[in-house]
């Protein structure tokens, strides 16, 4: 095995060459060094693979016919741990090059016939490095865009959080309600065996489901007594107000069904659209159970909290009418057999 390392170069890119012919490597080393490129060379492909696993390189010049591994076998191994390495295949004759399908399948960017004239190879190397530079620029731009989006998302979340806090600050009886609904929804989602992504949607949806109440007058929200039909009509506007606050932002698109439809009923007698059965989004059917459980088991301005057996009975009586029977049954099982998890949420967000 031979290994050459160019110490003074003008190009920032690192190139590695693998060829079992030392003479070819000597020539490559001289030509590339003369053109300002750093080059590390190997005659043994097995040793080269170990080097590539442990160190970063931008471009690989690879002989095709080698021992103990051919070039396509080397590339297959490389692609197991490095999908980005730019690879130029060198062949002694074009008839010895691998089939075009193999080149595409292994993501080999190009190949060049070996020659005493290195002009074509230098052009391919220059073209490859430009492609690498463009890919690097695009990657950096994407990272900057992600960072900007993250900052925008945080600012937006902070604003909505402030609105949510304002809603709950109006009424000491409902303080912690959104946090509990969020936690109950996630708990129910876990027992329904939902994915982590779906659980995250339930978590955020629960936190923001009542943000629309910021647009409901305090005289209605804090009324100590039965609401008139007109007042109830105003209350029923809060899901749509919440949707309007969250807007068309992509960051909230997954939680919109939770916010908009958490007061729909399985029998179609809910609001705002009177959806029924499976026409109600699944997360909204989960929300309905979690929201109702907390409403019944928490103190309100017009009544004290209801005992857990009473709340359980209300949920049971309304399976198939107010609540999705499958989802409601799972929550009843949590009450009966895992109440310690419910109590933990109550203690945390009381």
**What is the CB neighbour count within 10 angstroms for residue 304?**
8
Q: Which of 72, 60, 129 is nearest to 100 (CA)?
A: 72
Continuous segment of H or E residues that includes residue 61:
strand 59-63
Helix (H, G, I), strand (E, B) or coil at 323: strand
Residues 6+ apart with CB under 8 A from 338: 191
Question: Do the Cβ atoms of 259 and 239 come closer than 8 Å?
Answer: yes
Question: Do the Cβ atoms of 89 and 60 come closer than 8 Å?
Answer: no
Residues 6+ apart with CB under 8 A from 319: 325, 328, 329
Q: Which of 263, 201, 262, 214 is nearest to 241 (CA)?
A: 214
Residues 6+ apart with CB under 8 A from 207: 161, 164, 178, 179, 182
Active site residue 114: no
Q: First vs last Cα of the chain: how many Å apart? A: 70
Question: Do the Cβ atoms of 260 and 238 come closer than 8 Å?
Answer: no
The residue from 14, 213, 226, 346 that is catalytic is 213
Question: Do the Cβ atoms of 42 and 1 come closer than 8 Å?
Answer: yes
Please provide the size of the chain in residues: 350
CA 286, CA 185: separation in Å to the nearest integer? Answer: 6
Q: Is 98 left (phi over 0), alpha (psi -120 to 50) or beta?
A: beta
What is each CA distance from 102 to 81, 85, 108, 230, in whole angstroms?
Answer: 19, 17, 9, 72
Catalytic residue annotation? 213
């Amino acid at each position: 095995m031979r290994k050459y390392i160019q110490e003074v170069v003008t190009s920032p890119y690192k190139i590695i060459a693998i060829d079992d012919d030392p003479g070819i490597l000597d020539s490559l080393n001289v030509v590339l060094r003369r053109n300002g490129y750093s080059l590390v060379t190997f005659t043994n492909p097995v040793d080269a693979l170990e080097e590539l696993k442990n160190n970063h390189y931008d471009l690989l010049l690879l002989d095709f016919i080698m021992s103990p591994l051919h070039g396509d076998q080397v590339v297959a191994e490389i692609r197991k741990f490095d999908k980005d390495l730019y690879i130029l295949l060198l062949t002694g004759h074009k008839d010895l090059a691998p089939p075009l399908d193999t080149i595409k399948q292994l993501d080999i960017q190009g190949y060049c016939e070996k020659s005493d004239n290195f002009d074509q190879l230098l052009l391919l190397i220059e073209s490859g490095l430009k492609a690498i530079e463009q890919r690097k620029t695009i990657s950096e731009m994407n990272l900057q865009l992600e960072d900007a989006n993250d900052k925008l998302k945080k600012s937006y979340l902070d604003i909505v959080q402030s609105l949510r806090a304002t809603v709950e600050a109006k009424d000491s009886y409902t303080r912690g309600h959104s946090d509990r609904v969020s936690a109950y929804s996630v708990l129910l989602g876990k027992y329904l065996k939902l994915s982590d992504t779906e659980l995250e949607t339930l978590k955020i949806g629960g936190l923001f489901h009542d943000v629309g109440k910021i647009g409901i007058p305090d005289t209605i929200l804090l009324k100590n007594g039965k609401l008139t039909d007109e007042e109830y009509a105003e209350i029923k506007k809060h899901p749509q107000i919440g949707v309007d606050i969250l807007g068309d932002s992509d960051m909230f698109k997954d939680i919109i069904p939770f916010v908009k439809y958490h007061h729909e009923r399985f029998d179609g007698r809910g609001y705002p659209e009177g959806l029924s059965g499976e026409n109600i989004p699944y997360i909204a059917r989960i929300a309905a159970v979690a929201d109702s459980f907390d409403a019944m088991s928490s103190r309100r301005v017009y009544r004290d909290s209801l005992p857990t057996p009473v709340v359980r009975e209300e949920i049971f009586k309304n399976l198939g009418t107010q609540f999705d029977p499958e989802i409601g049954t799972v929550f009843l099982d949590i009450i009966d057999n895992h109440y310690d998890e419910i109590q933990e949420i109550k203690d945390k967000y009381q």
